[in-house]
Chain A
Amino acid sequence: GAGVSQSPSNKVTEKGKDVELRCDPISGHTALYWYRQSLGQGLEFLIYFQGNSAPDKSGLPSDRFSAERTGGSVSTLTIQRTQQEDSAVYLCASSGRWSTDTQYFGPGTRLTVL
């Protein structure tokens, strides 16, 4: 079956603009995660969904970042008033029922803020 997909694959935006990143998890996966990875660095956890609810939002770096998930499937990560330090690859992953299960990653969205 299809894996995790993300769109767009690349996004270039100007400082101050809002961006919306999309993640389509594997069908039937109830857990969904967003991470951020700066060049040459590890993964920074942003937010985790179990179904449509987000029990763990602890990683969101500021109130400019928000995420939602509807219908227990597609999720969008919105960054308002983008800053240059938001430039990174944003990775989405999904897993079965439990947050400790194997995670399946999408290819990521490379965001560049000019």
Chain B
Amino acid sequence: SQQGEEDPQALSIQEGENATMNCSYKTSINNLQWYRQNSGRGLVHLILIRSNEREKHSGRLRVTLDTSKKSSSLLITASRAADTASYFCATDGGGNTPLVFGKGTRLSVIA
């Protein structure tokens, strides 16, 4: 069964606003990763947060991880039209197993 599930499925905001996407998963993990995809092509890695970390920042991105709730959130601050893309969370199964990707959140940032 799918490990990570993003919420919402789609999100539309105005440029300059913040965008928050959530990911829930089912089993224990080593780490959780967020990826971005433009136009249905290859994914680009954004950020990795380890199971013993609670929050991580990278530029305008902020990721939180709550292992007790088995959930993570990705916050994009001061969004830009160029942030329009699909965002996926990916989790491992706690061992050396391949990452499992959720179905993604489609973010539209309107200029």
Contacts and interface: CB of A to CB of B under 8 A. Distances in A.
Chain B interface, DSSP helix/strand/loop, else mixed: loop
Nearest to B102: A42
B42 A100 contact: no
A98 B96 contact: yes
A89 to B, nearest CB: 6
A100 B88 contact: no
B103 A42 contact: yes
Interface string A71-114: 00000000000000000010101000011101111111000000
Given A42-B88, A42-B104, A43-B88, A99 B99 contact: yes
Contacts of A33: 98
Nearest to B93: A100
B48 interface: yes
A37 interface: yes
Contact of A37 (B31, B33, B40, B90): B40
B52 to A, nearest CB: 14
A89 B83 CA distance: 22
Given A99-B97, A100-B30, A100-B92, A108 B41 contact: yes
Q: Report the 10 A-B pairs with minimum CB-CB distance, sorted nearest first.
A: A42-B103, A105-B42, A43-B101, A100-B92, A105-B43, A48-B98, A99-B98, A107-B42, A102-B45, A107-B41
Interface of B: 2, 30-31, 33, 35, 40-45, 48, 88, 90, 92, 96-104
Interface of A: 4, 33, 35, 37, 39, 41-43, 45, 48, 56, 89, 91, 93, 98-100, 102-108
Contact of B99 (A103, A106, A108): A103
B98 A45 contact: yes
13 contacts: A42-B102, A43-B101, A45-B98, A48-B98, A91-B42, A91-B43, A93-B43, A99-B97, A100-B97, A100-B99, A103-B99, A105-B44, A108-B40
